[in-house]
Structures are given as structure tokens and as C-alpha cells.
Amino acid sequence: MVDIHRTHYSNQLSDNLVGQQVRVAGWVEDIRDIGKLAFVVLRDVTGACQLVVTGESLPVAVQTPRQSAVVVSGTVQKSKARDFPYEVKVTEFSILAKAANQLPIDPTGRVESASDKRLDARALDLRNPRVAAIFRLRSAGLEVIRDTLRKENFSEVNTPKIIGSASEGGANLFGFDYFKRKAYLAQSPQLYKEQLTLGFDRVFEIGPYFRAENSHTVRHLTEFISVDVEAAFTDYTDIIDLVEKLVGNVIGEFRDKRKADVELAGLESDLSFTKIDRLTYEQCLDELSKEGEKLEFGDDLSDAALRRLGEIHRGFYFIMDWPLKLKPFYIHEKEDDPRLSKSFDLQYGYLELVSGGRRLHDSDRLKSRLVKQGLNPASFSDHLKAFDWGMPPHSGMGLGFDRLMMVLTGAQNIRDVVLYPRDTERLTP
């Protein structure tokens, strides 16, 4: 029986292992057959190492289809190869799973594959070190966000994604049959997380949003991951500070501790982080008007307007104090100017990354806002009753995690930072 365990990863080969027996395991990337011996490049999750194969193992090794899974025993020696300081002189070469001779993509990335083909073979695509680096960064980003929020006394929660009625009202909901009734996929955990501030004070959820958006852009998917935060006894500027901290910590981690992966990802990303500018909506209108883009107070910032603003502010910036009428029913107005709301977006250039704000916590005011927005308070009765149980003033936000990863890895398309993207066309794999 073949021992399937490795003793070392390729990046652990070192001077003090020279002359010793090791077992390495991974996938065959390249085979160079030069007659009496062959050089084989074996890739594992940490990188690659060179194998020198002679004798009995030679005929097996040179016949191995590329990308087959193998485990190999041998002795570590110094290598003369340009790319490898060490190599393993093989004594035992075992194929664990043969790869097909014709693969759908070249996972080494030497032959460029169309992005649709790569998505169709995503698991194999991950063997490309550049792609793997992007997703390792994604995992690291989530870890930093969780750590930061825990340190700020947030509890992580999970709220249902199958819901019985439209949570925020309106369009963009996926509906489906649910035991003879109609159910929907949650667009966001907004109402649940607000209710949970009653018991937890501070909550966060990292989970999927589902939106039946018929958009064909590089920044919209029908399923995406958001970091949702809600905190009792806070105002919206506290949440702006928190967003700044979250983004700063992720950037700090990438810049200081994940340099190798950032370089491997090989994309132009912006990891120079300073304080984030805070503009108001009305300042944005002024700036746009100077650029010849005339908008009236109350107009939403169109894609074109945001692209203009993104040329003036190339990195991160906040847009605060949006007109109340542009915001959902649960957003609090500004006390000193009720035309405006206690709301903010975090932008990166033209791209919206976060929306957040102070929420209404008074049940009567919430009901009257529902009515003003053409919604029926009766359909929100489950939510509204929690407001009679001592609802604290609270604020929160939703951060589009995939979009943040686009910015921090320099990806031009959200599909490059999502393992199995879902959009209007794609439902597989």
C-alpha cells in the first residue's frame, strides 16, 4: 500500500534537509525527459520543487500525464536548476490519480485560457499559482475582518436566507415554491441584524445576498458575499470609523504580511492606505457641477456621475449625508436638516463598496416612513413588533466583500475574485 502522507511541503526543503529522506506530494506540472534521467516539476499548495528521476521510477515518471496527483520519496540534494535551490532524488514514484490527457485549460497559465473556460474548470484553474494567490488573499481578508470585529465586541450571527416575505420590499427578489407557499431568497439580513441588536448589542454576519439583478456588469453578481454589521448605541459616524478600520486592517495585512501573494496575484492593486476622505453628497454635487455635470439636489449619482467623481477621487472616499428620499425606509434623517439622511457609502473610484447609516429605532416613525415609501406596515409586523421591546438606537452597514477584493487584488472583474460566480447567464459549475 502506498503511503499517501507527505513529510514536507515543497517550500520546506532547506539546507538542513540535504541528504535526508523526504516524501513530497502534489501534482506533476512538467516533465523533461533527457534519456537516462528526467526532471519533473512537482507543484503543491506552497509552490513547486524539482524531482530528479532515474532507474526503475523513470519509465513511470516520464509516462505520467501532466497534472496527475503523485506522492514521491527521495533524498534532498542541492540543485543547479535556475528556479530551484533544492531537488529530491527520487527512490519511489507513485501515481495516486492520473489526470486526463486533454485538460480543459492549462492550469500553469502559460497558455492563456478564456475566462469562461477557466470558470468552467475552476477547481483546476486554482492550480495556477496566480489564481490560488487571489483566493488565499480572499481567505486572509475574511480572517482579518472577523478578527477586527471580534476585538470590537461583535458577535457573529447567521440569519435565514429562505424568507417568507420581501425583507426590504421591492424588486430584485428571487422567489420559489416552498411546500405550496411562495418563499424568497434573502436580499440582505437588514431586518434581522437590526432586531438582533436587542440581544447582542453588536452583531455581524458574513453571508450571501441574493439579488435578481438583470445587470451585465463587471461588478454585479446575483449571489455575492457581504459583511453586514449592526451596532446598538452608535451613530453613523461610528460605523464610518469602523469601516475605515476594517479596510485599513485588511490592507495592512496584505501589504505587510501577504506580500508574496500580492506579488503572485500580479495585478495592479492599491495598498497605500491613509485616512479616507469624507465628502458629503452636496459637496459631490458641487464638484460635479464644476466638471460640467449638472445634477439637482435629490438626483441619484448616476453611473456617469460616479465615474466622474472617481476620476477626481481615485482611491477610497466616503459620500455622506445623502438625500433622505434616496435611502431605504429604515434610514434615519439628520436632526438639523431632515432633507438629508444619516447615511454613507464607501467608494473606490466609481465603485460602491459599502452602504450604511443610522437606523430609525422609533416604531411610529418607522411605520410612517414605510407608508411614505409606498410599503405596507402590515407586511412588516414581525419586524415592527421588536421595536416595542426596547429597540436601542443603532447604526450599521453592508460591505460588498467581493468588490473589496476586486479593489485590493486589482481585479477588473468581480468574477476573478469569486470561486463560482452566479450571474444572469451562469448557474454552473
Q: Which residues are catalytic?
A: 211, 213, 219-220, 352, 355, 403
* Among residues 398, 406, 416, 417, the one that binds ligand ATP under rule CB under 6 A: 398
Report if residue 190 touches ligand ATP, rule: CB under 6 A.
no
Binding site for Mg ion (CB under 5 A): 355
Alpha carbon 71 to its chain centroid, in Å, reads 33
Min CB(215)–ligand ATP separation in Å = 7
Complex with ligand ATP: residue 154 or 344, whichever CB lies closer: 344
State the minimum distance, in angstroms, from the CB of residue 356 to Mg ion.
9
Phi and psi at 53, nearest 5°, equal -115, 130
Question: CA-to-CA distance for 89 and 19, rounded, in angstroms?
Answer: 10
Buried b (16+ CB within 10 A) or exposed e, 19-58: eeebbbbbbbeebeeeeebbbbbbbbeebbbbbbbeeebb
Q: Which is nearer to ligand ATP, 13 or 225 (CB)?
A: 225
Cβ-based neighbour number of residue 11 at 10 Å:
13
Output 13 or 186, the one with its CB closest to Mg ion: 186
**Closer residue to Mg ion, CB minimum distance, 79 or 355:** 355
Within 10 angstroms of residue 182's Cβ, the number of other Cβ atoms is 10
* Site for ligand ATP contains 343 (CB under 6 A): no
Distance from first CA to last CA of the chain, Å, rounded? 34
User: Is position 224 an interface residue for ligand ATP (rule: CB under 6 A)?
Assistant: yes
CA distance 147 to 153: 10
Binding to ligand ATP by residue 400, rule CB under 6 A? yes
Residue tagged 414581525 (cell numbers): 382
Q: Which does 224 bind (CB under 5 to 8 A by kind): Mg ion, ligand ATP, none?
A: ligand ATP
Contact call for residue 403 and ligand ATP (CB under 6 A): yes
Asked if residues 62 and 38 have their Cβ atoms less than 8 Å apart, the reply is: yes
User: Shortest distance, CB of residue 345 to Mg ion, whole angstroms?
Assistant: 6
CB of 400 to ligand ATP, least distance (A): 2
Q: Is 357 in the site for ligand ATP (CB under 6 A)?
A: no
Angle among Cα 255, 259, 260 to the nearest 5 degrees reads 165
Comparing CB distances to ligand ATP, the nearer of 44 and 402 is 402
Residues that bind ligand ATP in the complex, under the rule CB under 6 A: 211, 213, 220-221, 224, 226, 352-355, 398, 400, 402-403, 414
